[in-house]
Amino acid sequence: MTRHAVTLIPGDGVGPEICDASVRVLEATGVEFDWDLQQAGEAAIAEFGTPLPDHVLESIRKNKVALKGPITTPVGSGFRSVNVALRQALDLYALVRPVRAYKGAHNLRDDLDFIIVRENTEDIYAGLEFERGTPDAEHLIEEISTVSGSERIVKFAFDYARRNNRRKVTAVHKANIMKHTDGLFLSVARQVAAKNTDIEFEDRIVDNMCMQLVLRPKEYDVLCCPNLYGDIISDLGAGMIGGLGLAPGANIGTNGAVFEATHGSAPKYAGQNKVNPMAVMLSGVMMLRYLEEVAAADALEKAIANVIALGENVTYDLKEKRDDPTAVGTSQVADAVIAQLKAAV
Ligand code: NAD
């Protein structure tokens, strides 16, 4: 059996608790890991004077795979987002966020199953733009959205669709207003689509996309989004399947991948053994698939789905009422998932 070297970044806020719970269920699958524990965020500032020390990036470059908890970003002042810096430093250009309804969760509909592929490195969404070619505009527009950046994310979406038996890619944009930045993204998307005719292609303006997802989600399959729209649609998607506690993600680049939940560090719940670890656990399922441990991935996803469906050993966010006294804590969810894994053997 292959042992997998994986960088483990617990992060801060609720990160350490949900990562601990996720490591326990990942190990219970029988897959063997060599965890390379690394601190980033508040813990790293205390120890190394910076929230993202070089040796953390080096560890991910070496292992090529990381499981990461959320990291707090100070609002308005303080250090830049460690999450954004890490994605850029490692050129993790594609963020894959599945939106899947599990039976028993508070789903908008029980048949939801679509994938958000979010561009992860560009698109500062400045709201300021000038016509391409005018003297002081060229540099700004190039910074916001590039041909190469657009091309690689759309190619990634088509490759992802093909590998995962998905039928359609929808490019999401606001090219009617942002003609030179989103317009570039859309025209590159159409060019890539013309070379990938085995997969259907269409485009949607982002505001319409949001409404369509709520009303007619079954018409959509793989959504390919620039950075900011992908960020917003990710939370819309999380809301459609019962909340952030069930929304996983994978940051993928050419030389490695970092798996993390969509949600943040929820600092008000830190240290309380309260929040749902399933978004990180499901990110772990994605990691197992990336590591080609497909049987373990399927078993873990099924075990998590069973715990959700039974509805007993779940955290407050999956209960009908958020103050339900029968809600369990983070570590008890891990115990329940492990029990399901053992019961299935
Ligand atoms: P958040 O996602 O941390 O929390 C918002 C709310 O969602 C929480 O108060 C809680 O009610 C709920 N929630 C989140 N995760 C949950 C879980 N696992 N189980 C149950 N409920 C859950 O968003 P925020 O408060 O806007 O951000 C807090 C910090 O996290 C900020 O500093 C932000 O920058 C950072 N952040 C980090 C990442 C990341 O590390 N990738 C992502 C988003 C936000």
Ligand 1: centre distance to CA 70 (Å): 8
Assess whether the C-beta atom of 68 lies below 6 angstroms from ligand 1: no
Assess whether the C-beta atom of 64 lies below 6 angstroms from ligand 1: no
Assess whether the C-beta atom of 260 lies below 6 angstroms from ligand 1: yes
Q: Which of helix, strand or coil describes residue 94?
A: strand
Residue 261 CA: which ligand 1 atom is closest? 41
Q: Cite the beta strand spans of the chain per DSSP E.
A: 3-9, 32-37, 65-68, 94-100, 113-119, 168-173, 200-205, 222-225, 250-252, 257-259
CB burial of 235-246 (b: ≥16 within 10 Å; e: otherwise) equals eebbebbbbbbb
How many Cβ atoms sit within 10 Å of the Cβ of residue 197? Answer: 8
pLDDT in the model for residue 121? 84
Strand pairing partners for 6? 35
pTM of the predicted protein model: 0.93
Q: Is 177 exposed, middle or buried (0-12, 13-18, 19+ CB in 10 A)?
A: middle
Tens of pLDDT, residue by residue, the chain (345 residues): 789 999 999 999 999 999 999 999 999 999 999 999 999 988 888 889 888 999 999 999 999 999 999 998 865 566 678 888 898 899 999 999 999 999 999 999 999 999 999 999 887 533 345 566 666 666 665 556 788 889 999 999 999 999 999 999 999 999 998 888 889 999 999 999 999 999 999 999 999 999 999 999 999 999 999 999 999 999 999 999 999 999 999 999 999 999 999 999 999 999 999 999 999 999 999 999 999 999 999 999 999 999 999 999 999 999 999 899 999 999 999 999 999 999 998
Which residues have a catalytic role annotated?
125, 174, 207, 231
CB 282 within 8 A of CB 248: yes
Ligand 1: centre distance to CA 265 (Å): 5
pLDDT in the model for residue 42? 82
Residue nearest to atom 43 of ligand 1 (CA): 264
What single DSSP character describes residue 102?
A: P
Residue nearest to atom 5 of ligand 1 (CA): 266
Residue nearest to atom 31 of ligand 1 (CA): 72
CA distances from 219 to 90, 101, 209, 212 (A): 34, 15, 11, 8
Q: How many CA atoms lie within 13 A of 289 on its CB side?
A: 18
What distance in Å separates the CA atoms of residue 150 and residue 261, rounded to the nearest whole number? 24
pLDDT in the model for residue 148? 86
Beta strands at 257-259 and 250-252: parallel, antiparallel or unpaired = antiparallel
CA angle at residue 39 from 44 to 15, to 5 degrees? 110
H helix or E strand, kind and range, residue 24: helix 15-28
pLDDT in the model for residue 137? 61
Assess whether the C-beta atom of 239 lies below 6 angstroms from ligand 1: no
What distance in Å separates the CA atoms of residue 273 and residue 318, rounded to the nearest whole number? 15
Which residue has 């966020």 as its token pair? 97
How many Cβ atoms sit within 10 Å of the Cβ of residue 135? Answer: 7
H helix or E strand, kind and range, residue 187: helix 182-194
CB 278 within 8 A of CB 104: no
Assess whether the C-beta atom of 282 lies below 6 angstroms from ligand 1: no
Amino acid at 78: G
- The set of residues, in sequence order, having a beta carbon less than 8 Å from that of 285 and lying 6+ positions away, is 248, 297, 300, 301, 304
pLDDT in the model for residue 179? 84
What distance in Å separates the CA atoms of residue 212 and residue 231, rounded to the nearest whole number? 17
Assess whether the C-beta atom of 330 lies below 6 angstroms from ligand 1: no
